[in-house]
Amino acid sequence: MGHDEPDLEVGPPQDHAAGTRAVAISLQQAVKQMGPTRTARTLSRLNQVDGFDCMSCAWPDPDPEHRHTAEFCENGAKAVAEEATLKRVGPKFFARHSIGELEEHDEFWLGKQGRITHPMVKRPGGTHYEPISWDDAFALVAEHLNALDSPDEAVFYTSGRASNEAAFAYQLFVRAFGTNNLPDCSNMCHESTGVALGDAIGIGKGSVHLTDLYAAELIVIAGQNPGTNHPRMLTALEIAKKRGARILTINPLREAGSTNFRNPQTPRGVIGHGTDLTDVHLPIKLNGDHALFRAIGHLLVEWDAIDHEFVAAYTDGFDEWRREVAALDWAQVEELTGLSRDQVTEAARMIADSKATVYCWAMGLTQHRNSVATLREVVNVALTRGDIGKPGAGLCPVRGHSNVQGDRTMGIWEKPPPAFLDALAAEFDFEPPRAHGFDTVEAIEALADGRAKVFIALGGNFVQAAPDTLVTREAMGRAELTVQVSTKLNRSHLSCGRTALILPTIGRTETDAQAGGPQFVTVEDSMSAVHASRGRLAPASPELRSEVAIVTGLAEATFRGRDGHGGARIDWAGLRADYAVIRDHITRVVPGFEAFEERVQTKAGFTLPHPPRDGRVFPTITGKARFAAGPLVGLDVPDGHLVLQTLRSHDQFNTTIYGLDDRYRGIKNGRRVVFVSRQDIERLGLTDGQYVDLVATWDGDDRERRADSFRVVEYATPVGSAAAYYPETNPLVPLGSRAVGSNTPTSKSVLVRLVPRAEDPMSN
């Protein structure tokens, strides 16, 4: 793969997000890929009541009365354009390009080739993908699955874009087959949130409605970059600010989107200065949040800024926690956070002075070794203030993929709760497996050592999204069969098993016609609201099948001729013909979905129950919300090393690269940059603009992990904390380095050295 980026330009970062420039850029990109008519048709349907759900993030839609005619953001428009592109990757493309040749291209190029139009197969030893019929493809998968010694030798991954209906049918197939090997992208994403909240409040989901943000006195945004990754959140923050809310931002970087918002849908946003969002910004060192929230807890106790009634009535563990935070070591806090005692005190004051605080977070808090402990500390602070189950307050983990939360609700989980399996058993009359399955990193380990032989993915780009790219690619190469249900070409089609299948599917923007007539699907957003999504465009190719059709087709082929098997008794064709049949099953298997079909047909859909939010009921093992106390553990950073976070640019969706500009951070025409503080550049004897290789340090094994040729960019980031883009840096993230309790790869705290390159790559 070529690494040269001769046109890379570096300028100053921006101090505001969106504005009319964002609209212009999104329209430009959309028209380029879709043409003007298609652009108008799709963008006008985005997030409208009778339209489709935007696949760009899980931020909720405002209620129907408050929606703008164009309820989209720049990055939502890019996501739509990427899917609704007019370019096609068909059998001729695959005949022209060998897999080896495609391997030479980067993710950006692969994604830009267009939508995959036909099912394709790579046979053992083959150099090219060739067309295959759907029936033959299904039979091939069935043959491999049925030849395994145990169902646990197969792994079934899900990326969080799959609809509720597809996810439910998929987990049903997998459990009827006989395994809980259902890893998903959540394992790399908000798993730490799920674990921490599950233990602390009894449910792994956020406790706010969108209206709570509007009503908050204070909004804390920690480890999240809403201007890029959840741009529609800026509209909610703007409303909150207008109503007098304050915003506390905790982030190593001063992200443009959290600083000032020029809402392109208001006159003020178009011609005025826009709305200043952040009141106080804490430029925290990477991984300093556990210490920060511990210190905030300490001050709240010292000031007696405690909601004693709430603590007495609804929580346990308070006294032990109070003893732990009383013994705070300020020198340690300053060391771990890189913040002064005054800065920490100012933040604690904001929380103490607020009667209703919403706490938002994303990957900056979930992808560290101590992430579960950090999130328990955030919850401790919220409990101290009684900030759960009251208007304007609550916990707000901001999810990534548009239906990642819904997929989990539907049973995409390697550790399914027994009650879910009981309900599944009763509904479908088979005995689901009870042993826990592999999560993402365990799946890679199992593929690497041969315990797993078949890998099937419902969406996503596993090879490129997973940590330790080289290790993951080797593991995947050992598989007997890999199957990717995909819309577009990506690395996971190339780093594949001995036999490999690409099964092309329709996307959110497209119509879905089945034997029972036109279908819609449903999704659940970050705030547990469930609603329908209907595509309007003709599918990219007549050969495409829906995810539900593919999953049920795989199931039929797998259970064919196995009379008496639980899976053979399920009416897969019935599920496929009419998704209302799937939703009917869901009403009896998943709590909160009573009268699913009627309620989801209403304009705004419905919101799932959340006992802590709805009535301060905490379904934990003690029946109370739980304080957690534990030691503060920092990262051990060897001399000459930096802590590297791997993050998203403004021009990508995970491994899909829209373009090469990170406008808000001043980067143009390139991605191989590493952001480093001026002090570190001087201390390490480097210069701004120089090229370095990134070499990771990890004492778990003796593999060399490196990513070559990054341009050093001087940037306002705390001393010792560096940043570079995902997925180019995934080869550096050790598979063995993961969060305690959630097993999430530590993508935001990678220990690296910056090694100057012998020769300048520009000169060759």
Ligand X SMILES: Nc1nc2c(c(=O)[nH]1)N[C@H]1C(S)=C(S)[C@@H](COP(=O)(O)OP(=O)(O)OC[C@H]3O[C@@H](n4cnc5c(=O)[nH]c(N)nc54)[C@H](O)[C@@H]3O)O[C@H]1N2
Positions that interact with Mo ion (CB under 5 A) = 189, 400
Kindly identify the residues of this chain, within the stretch 520-539, that bind ligand X according to CB under 6 A. none
E-strand spans in 459-563?
Answer: 481-486, 499-504, 513-514, 517-518, 521-524, 529-533
How many Cβ atoms are within 10 Å of 276's Cβ, its own excluded? Answer: 13
Position among 400, 539, 720, 741 found at the interface with ligand X (CB under 6 A): 400
Pick 338 or 400: Cβ nearer Mo ion: 400
In the complex, what is the shortest distance from the CB of residue 647 to ligand X, in angstroms, rounded to a whole number? 4
Q: Is 188 a residue that touches ligand X (CB under 6 A)?
A: yes
Judge contact between 476 and 496, C-beta under 8 A.
yes
In the complex, what is the shortest distance from the CB of residue 477 to ligand X, in angstroms, rounded to a whole number? 18
Tokens 């005619």, residue located: 69
Position among 204, 223, 297, 605 found at the interface with ligand X (CB under 6 A): 223
Q: Is 112 a residue that touches ligand X (CB under 6 A)?
A: no
In the complex, what is the shortest distance from the CB of residue 259 to ligand X, in angstroms, rounded to a whole number? 12
3 state DSSP class of 261: strand
Tell me which of Mo ion, ligand X, none is bound by residue 742, counting a contact when its beta carbon lies within the kind-specific cut-off of 5 to 8 angstroms.
none
**Measured distance CA(216)–CA(245) in Å, rounded:** 6
**Measured distance CA(99)–CA(496) in Å, rounded:** 10
Judge contact between 126 and 497, C-beta under 8 A.
no
**Measured distance CA(326)–CA(304) in Å, rounded:** 12
In the complex, what is the shortest distance from the CB of residue 684 to ligand X, in angstroms, rounded to a whole number? 20
**Phi-psi map region of 304: left, alpha, beta (phi>0 left; psi -120 to 50 alpha):** left
In the complex, what is the shortest distance from the CB of residue 728 to ligand X, in angstroms, rounded to a whole number? 9
Given the rule CB under 6 A, which of 172-180, 198-206, 299-307, 487-495 is the region that contacts ligand X?
Answer: 487-495
The conformation of residue 495, written as its DSSP 8-state character, comes to S
β-bridge partners, 607: 529
Judge contact between 376 and 346, C-beta under 8 A.
no
Q: Is 251 a residue that touches ligand X (CB under 6 A)?
A: yes
Q: Is the peptide bond before 727 cis (omega within 30 degrees of 0)?
A: yes
Q: Is 440 a residue that touches ligand X (CB under 6 A)?
A: no
| Nearest one of 650, 666, 644 to 750, comparing CA atoms | 644
Given the rule CB under 6 A, which of 423-431, 596-604, 643-651, 690-698 is the region that contacts ligand X?
Answer: 643-651
Pick 311 or 750: Cβ nearer ligand X: 750
Kindly identify the residues of this chain, within the stretch 656-675, that bind ligand X according to CB under 6 A. 656
CA 526 to chain centre: 11
Tell me which of ligand X, Mo ion, none is bound by residue 362, counting a contact when its beta carbon lies within the kind-specific cut-off of 5 to 8 angstroms.
ligand X
In the complex, what is the shortest distance from the CB of residue 593 to Mo ion, in angstroms, rounded to a whole number? 24
Position among 8, 23, 43, 57 found at the interface with ligand X (CB under 6 A): 57
Tell me which of Mo ion, ligand X, none is bound by residue 726, counting a contact when its beta carbon lies within the kind-specific cut-off of 5 to 8 angstroms.
ligand X
Position among 371, 409, 482, 486 found at the interface with ligand X (CB under 6 A): 486
Given the rule CB under 6 A, which of 267-275, 308-316, 444-452, 653-661 is the region that contacts ligand X?
Answer: 653-661
| Nearest one of 484, 473, 465 to 448, comparing CA atoms | 473
Position among 195, 210, 253, 752 found at the interface with ligand X (CB under 6 A): 253
Q: Which residues of 682-709 are buried (b: 16+ CB within 10 A; e: fewer)?
A: eebebeeeebbbbbbebeeeeeebebbb
In the complex, what is the shortest distance from the CB of residue 189 to Mo ion, in angstroms, rounded to a whole number? 3
In the complex, what is the shortest distance from the CB of residue 401 to ligand X, in angstroms, rounded to a whole number? 5
In the complex, what is the shortest distance from the CB of residue 110 to ligand X, in angstroms, rounded to a whole number? 8
Kindly identify the residues of this chain, within the stretch 133-172, that bind ligand X according to CB under 6 A. 159, 161
Tell me which of ligand X, Mo ion, none is bound by residue 56, counting a contact when its beta carbon lies within the kind-specific cut-off of 5 to 8 angstroms.
ligand X
Judge contact between 717 and 675, C-beta under 8 A.
yes
**Measured distance CA(253)–CA(13) in Å, rounded:** 11
Mask for 286-325, x = binds ligand X (CB under 6 A): xx-x------------------------------------
Q: Is 364 a residue that touches ligand X (CB under 6 A)?
A: yes
Q: Is 119 a residue that touches ligand X (CB under 6 A)?
A: no
| Nearest one of 459, 444, 430, 422 to 158, comparing CA atoms | 459
Q: Which helix (H) or strand (E) holds 316?
A: strand 315-316
**Measured distance CA(279)–CA(288) in Å, rounded:** 20
Pick 363 or 540: Cβ nearer ligand X: 363
Strands 673-676 and 705-714: parallel
In the complex, what is the shortest distance from the CB of residue 562 to ligand X, in angstroms, rounded to a whole number? 27
Given the rule CB under 6 A, which of 216-224, 314-322, 411-419, 691-699 is the region that contacts ligand X?
Answer: 216-224
Q: How many CA atoms lie within 13 A of 469 on its CB side?
A: 19
Q: Is 552 a residue that touches ligand X (CB under 6 A)?
A: no
Rule CB under 6 A: which residues touch ligand X? 56-57, 75, 159, 161, 185, 188-189, 222-225, 228-230, 250-253, 255, 284, 286-287, 289, 362-364, 400-401, 458-462, 465, 485-488, 490, 505, 507-508, 547, 645-648, 652-656, 726, 729-730, 733, 747-748
